[in-house]
Amino acid sequence: MSISAPLRRDGDVDIPEIRFPGGLPGFAGRERFVLQQWGDEASPFSLLRSVDDEELSFVVVPPSLFFPDYEPDVCDEVVESVGIAEPDDAMVLVIVTVRQPVQDSTANLLGPLVINVHDLRGVQAVLEPDRWPTAQPLVA
């Protein structure tokens, strides 16, 4: 299924708790996260903060803001694991590595986060490595 849904928020209210059954790759046991605005209200970035480990957080962004042609083809098994039946059921985020200077920051397009917008279950998909990079510059 090809998914390119944007980040969805209810006004200024951050999305409550997102569950990643089994955790994120490399972070077993950290299944509960909250999504919070990062920066001022004009910032497209959010923090995906672990509820289970207060020191664990990721900067995330909807990929469509920086990569309008990005449409990850996520395998059916991954999509079904979080109950996504239609592309509109999904919110897609990518993890950003913030670097100094900030223009050198990159996004992981190989491992997008796919979240069911109805029940807030998520999974980190792993796409085809020859098509998507793990460190795509945000700024060309």
User: What is the block-wise mean pLDDT of the chain (140 residues), using blocks of 10 residues?
Assistant: 44 71 90 91 92 94 94 90 91 95 93 95 92 92
What pLDDT, on a 0 to 100 scale, did the predictor assign at position 102? 84
Q: Does residue 85 lie in a domain region? A: yes
Q: Does residue 116 lie in a domain region? A: yes
Number of domains in the chain: 1
DSSP code for 73: B
Q: Does residue 23 lie in a domain region? A: yes
Q: Does residue 10 lie in a domain region? A: no
pTM for this structure?
A: 0.87
Q: Does residue 24 lie in a domain region? A: yes
CATH number of 80's domain: 2.30.290.10
Q: Which secondary-structure segment (H or E) carries 49? A: strand 46-50
Domain boundaries, position 40? 17-137
What pLDDT, on a 0 to 100 scale, did the predictor assign at position 15? 63
Q: Does residue 5 lie in a domain region? A: no
CA-CA-CA-CA torsion sign (1, 31, 60, 6): positive
Q: Does residue 73 lie in a domain region? A: yes
Any residues with CB less than 8 A from the CB of 17 and at least 6 apart, and which? 32, 33, 34, 51, 120
What pLDDT, on a 0 to 100 scale, did the predictor assign at position 22? 85
57-61 and 46-50 strand pairing: antiparallel
